[in-house]
Structure 1
């Protein structure tokens, strides 16, 4: 079902470009839309015109509403690109299937279970910094640190051989690149699925103390099918390294551009400062590029207007997290701000499953990297840093640094 309201001829294209020289800020046109109207039509790549929800409170209301669907296979779902209508397990499903599959792995990501991983993550971070210090400079912090650290963590959790990181990182890049064709994405998913299917099925006969083994045990007990377990493993492997890797690099670059904020993080004696800085950087930056997508299952009111059943909704968290009604002076980076109520991890039943692990990794990185490399600085001009404007995950392709 489509809207009976004819979009205006000037309906803006979405996503919108960021301003030259302002890569950390939401696009100016997105900010202008927020100021004009909390709900506005935008035009996607396929000509569809879903609603763009720009205010923090409205986004939380929509994300917590059972009358909206995250099912990527629905014909009216506002897809980010051709051919990406599903395939990544439960994040593209509605309850009860979403809840059933999510429950199968939710225990792995509880605050208590993740806290037990702190020594392992700390060792991975320390070892990675040791390698940085032993090697030459300048160095690309993305390839030498930001990408290996979360990849090693998720490989340890899943028991995926880190020696295969080039394979799964390369296929992940294909999946999250906006310019990839549907065929390229399908092939990438197929390669990852074949790879993880082999690992999961091997765990049925030779289990260990790891997440893939626990998925294999559920297959044996009839709680999961092998394709379901494989799809979940693909999702966890991709999500477990891509978003955190980009956040490490982008937040480091942000702090280098805000040296007074970097000093607060690096020199903090108060143990609450670094966790608070994690939340503020998650609010200030934006890694999930392109907005969360939903479709209305029934008529509902958003920002005082009626969204009809079958109409799409796009919720860009970067503009919600810069809403002055929720965060005073939102364009100012302040690592001492109370920002934990941001929507970087979403809200409601589909809130990011791995948020506790991401927080732990970022906290350890921020607490360790800047203290051990107090002279950390860019090795090139800021204007030379290549940003990922072409992906569904935002960040930088390279970050040349020295110290």
Structure 2
């Protein structure tokens, strides 16, 4: 039987609340209340922002199917779209997120213009440069004061420099774009603050695109300028794609570097495997397991049904919101044996840390390559690396929609 919210409450079954923050007692896992959503089955109603009652999807198979279903819309402006802010401000700055909030065919049209820059062949050609960056930043950290802050000294600057060079963004502007990006992914910033940060980055990228139209370089933004001149892309669309790539290209990877490092420091036996192996396949498997286990995207991937969808014994009605919770799909015991255990030797490649379907993360080959370089290099170069403070004093990002660490004091 499919329950509407009214029927569920009438039967005395209170709707679970969403979202629920992670617990400080177990900061690497979804909160117990979030995990309990799976007890209701692969789909359940939740009471969420603005007293709305969207569907929360926790099952791995159901998420994979729905993320590939064109009857779900990613458009922020769709009625019923699950939003964590007041409806009057729900879309502030959303236009600067480019194709992430679009449906096909427009989504596919814009995405194709940048997908060639993220092919595995092109990303692999960048590996030696990323290795050089990693060694350089580790050298600087070793020659600096202790304790060092791994976030400030390594985790944040490497992906910032990588995406800057790929896009053609001057790295000397990193404090500007990091500060505005941090506001955009903050869960406690006001809608006005997020909109202002979006505007700052959009203006910055628009100015940069304008300069590259007259003085192009060998970078992705210059490639987009070629498409502007061909009439295939507007300058605003190119700037919006720049905002999306600059934000996504450093913020998510930086959090995975620091959070994954801290997690491995809590599991020295598994850290030792990464440190001591010379087998790239072992490193690849370790990175996939860390992506599965940590699942740093909070608040889910949000959609709206534009047609009725029958799935797992329920009907998602047109106009109803859907929240796809990757952190729970990645701990689905039907797919991952003993899912709450970190095991870097398992085959975790079915994880959905990068989403699925047409909206899967276009930059995932780059993120994977960076992590494959940074983790083993860090532990080989600094085999005595350890946290300078206890776990309970490390500032986790409970206040952000991309989970990670504000700082990670380390010594050796």
**Does structure 2 retain, via aligned residues, the 8 Å contact 1:60–1:347?**
yes
Whether 1:257 and 2:266 are equivalent positions in the alignment is yes
After TM superposition, give the deviation of residue 179 of structure 1 in Å.
1.1
Aligned partner of residue 201 in structure 1, secondary structure = helix
**Does structure 2 retain, via aligned residues, the 8 Å contact 1:196–1:230?**
yes
Instruction: Tell me which residue corresponds to 2:117.
Output: 108
After TM superposition, give the deviation of residue 80 of structure 1 in Å.
3.1
After TM superposition, give the deviation of residue 113 of structure 1 in Å.
1.0
Instruction: Tell me which residue corresponds to 1:68.
Output: 72
Select which of 31, 36, 43 maps to 1:39: 43
User: Structure 2: how far apart are the matches of 1:207 and 1:66?
Assistant: 37
Select which of 55, 60, 78 maps to 2:59: 55
Aligned partner of residue 46 in structure 1, secondary structure = helix
User: Structure 1: how far apart are the matches of 2:362 and 2:263?
Assistant: 26
Where does the alignment leave 5 or more consecutive residues of structure 2 unmatched?
Answer: none
Whether 1:284 and 2:293 are equivalent positions in the alignment is yes
Aligned partner of residue 44 in structure 2, secondary structure = strand
Select which of 302, 308, 316 maps to 2:317: 308
Aligned partner of residue 293 in structure 1, secondary structure = strand
Give the TM-score normalised by structure 2: 0.95
Aligned partner of residue 295 in structure 1, secondary structure = strand
After TM superposition, give the deviation of residue 367 of structure 1 in Å.
2.1
Instruction: Tell me which residue corresponds to 1:91.
Output: 100
Select which of 25, 28, 47 maps to 2:29: 25
Q: How many residues are treated as equivalent by the alignment?
A: 401
Q: Which runs of 4 or more aligned residues in structure 1 lie more than 6 Å from their structure 2 counterparts after TM superposition?
A: none
After TM superposition, give the deviation of residue 341 of structure 1 in Å.
1.1
C-alpha distance after superposition, 1:134-166 (max 9, x if no partner): 111101100111000000000010111111111
1:87-236 equivalent positions in 2, closer than 5 A: 87=95, 88-236=97-245
C-alpha distance after superposition, 1:21-73 (max 9, x if no partner): 10011111121220232211112221111000111111101101111111111
Where does the alignment leave 5 or more consecutive residues of structure 1 unmatched?
Answer: none
Inter-CA distance 349–285: structure 2 relative to 1 (3 Å threshold)? same
**Does structure 2 retain, via aligned residues, the 8 Å contact 1:81–1:178?**
no
Aligned partner of residue 51 in structure 2, secondary structure = coil
User: Structure 2: how far apart are the matches of 1:35 and 1:136?
Assistant: 48
C-alpha distance after superposition, 1:188-246 (max 9, x if no partner): 11111111111111111101100110111111111100110010000000000000000
Whether 1:382 and 2:386 are equivalent positions in the alignment is no
Select which of 393, 396, 400 maps to 2:405: 396
**Does structure 1 retain, via aligned residues, the 8 Å contact 2:30–2:328?**
yes
User: Structure 2: how far apart are the matches of 1:38 and 1:219?
Assistant: 44
1:315-326 equivalent positions in 2, closer than 5 A: 315-326=324-335
After TM superposition, give the deviation of residue 4 of structure 1 in Å.
6.2
User: Structure 2: how far apart are the matches of 1:147 and 1:269?
Assistant: 26
Aligned partner of residue 13 in structure 1, secondary structure = coil
User: Structure 2: how far apart are the matches of 1:48 and 1:90?
Assistant: 26
After TM superposition, give the deviation of residue 18 of structure 1 in Å.
2.0
1:266-277 equivalent positions in 2, closer than 5 A: 266-277=275-286
